[in-house]
Structure 1
């Protein structure tokens, strides 16, 4: 189990770094979107390449951030119902969900996405739009995102099994988001520094 927990920590660290990197893709996409809108309205011109870059960045944000979101336990859940159960029962529900829903779905998508992306890379597929970009980087994001999600699902499964064996504390997979009260305290603390 210690090897599996080490593997879980490695996967968690990988997805944390990728999640932090994806935040820059969001920032860059906002800049490109704003710049493209200004150029379109001021100079009455536009470029399909800039629109496609936004599409690539949005794809990266959504596909690569899913594993980060799962790592932080922020996906939409049935907490309204499950929240009334004991922590142990909640963990069993998670184990069931990972084994029956998450992992089979991600593996199925990977099964179809890898050849789909590979064919695009092999053919050096280019957008059919005038001035468009190569398409394979966007298609490669699909298997990359689902591979990361599969790995994070395995990591979460390892942590839940570790909890059931008494080797992992529940804090290893609790939600990482701040509560509204914590956000208010952070704002107050930041205002007191100014």
Structure 2
């Protein structure tokens, strides 16, 4: 089953390799917005919204990779002091009873809004903005699916590994 976990890891790695360039694009666009506004007196709502879209895409599509490389926020104060077997049990419990159910609930409850947004091809957030809010809302189910896939890969590895103590 580790081959399946490798495929799921590879999916999030590949997406992260693409998504990381969104940060550079976001910086360049924001710099252009500031120069345009304060040097040339030109303003663009669509350009400002594009920074919002890129920021959302970066964080939502990069969440699975963050879980893969174990750089997410841990709140458990006892985790670091536990044995490998104790950490394994907490990880399994957390994925099965917190992460997967919360992602499933978010996917379930957000889906009608995303579906309706696509049905009407929901327009811009602001007048003169990007006419693609439906794409922005699509990041929600993508986020849920990528995090769930990574959680599944982690669980496969946790269940295939033998506890040491």
Matched, 1:110 2:107: yes
* Deviation at residue 113 of structure 1 after TM alignment: 2.0
2:73 matched residue in structure 1 = 76
The higher-RCO structure (CA 8 Å, 6+ apart) is 2
From 4, 9, 13, the equivalent of 1:7 is 4
Q: CA RMSD in A?
A: 1.5
Distance in 2, Cα, partners of 1:98 & 1:79: 14
User: Are residues 1:148 and 2:114 paired?
Assistant: no
1:133 positional shift: 1.2
TM-score after normalising by structure 1: 0.80
C-alpha distance in 1 between matches for 2:25 and 2:139: 17
TM-aligned CA deviation for residue 165 of structure 1:
6.9
Q: Give, in angstroms, the shift of residue 85 of structure 1.
A: 1.2
Give the TM-score of the pair, scaled to structure 2.
0.93
Aligned to 1:48: 45
Partner of 1:58: 55
> Relative to structure 1, is the Cα distance of residues 94 and 32 closer, same or farther in structure 2, using a 3 angstrom cutoff?
same
CA distance in 2 between partners of 1:130 and 1:107 (Å): 34
Structure 1, 105-114 or 70-79: larger mean CA deviation: 70-79
Could you tell me which runs of 5 or more consecutive residues in structure 2 were left unpaired when the two chains were aligned: none
Match of 2:34 among 30, 37, 47: 37
Asked if the contact 2:85/2:163 (under 8 Å) is kept, the reply is: no
Deviation track 1:2-57 (CA, whole Å, cap 9, x = no partner) reads xx322111010010111111110011000000001100101112111001111110
Residues 83 and 30 of structure 1: is their aligned pair in 2 closer, same or farther, counting only changes over 3 Å? same
Structure 2 CA distance for aligned equivalents of residues 146 and 90 of structure 1: 24
Residue 15 (structure 2) aligns with: 18
- Structure 1 equivalent of residue 136 of structure 2: 138
**Between Structure 1 and Structure 2, how many residues are aligned?**
163
For residues 166-177 of structure 1, the aligned pairs below 5 Å read none
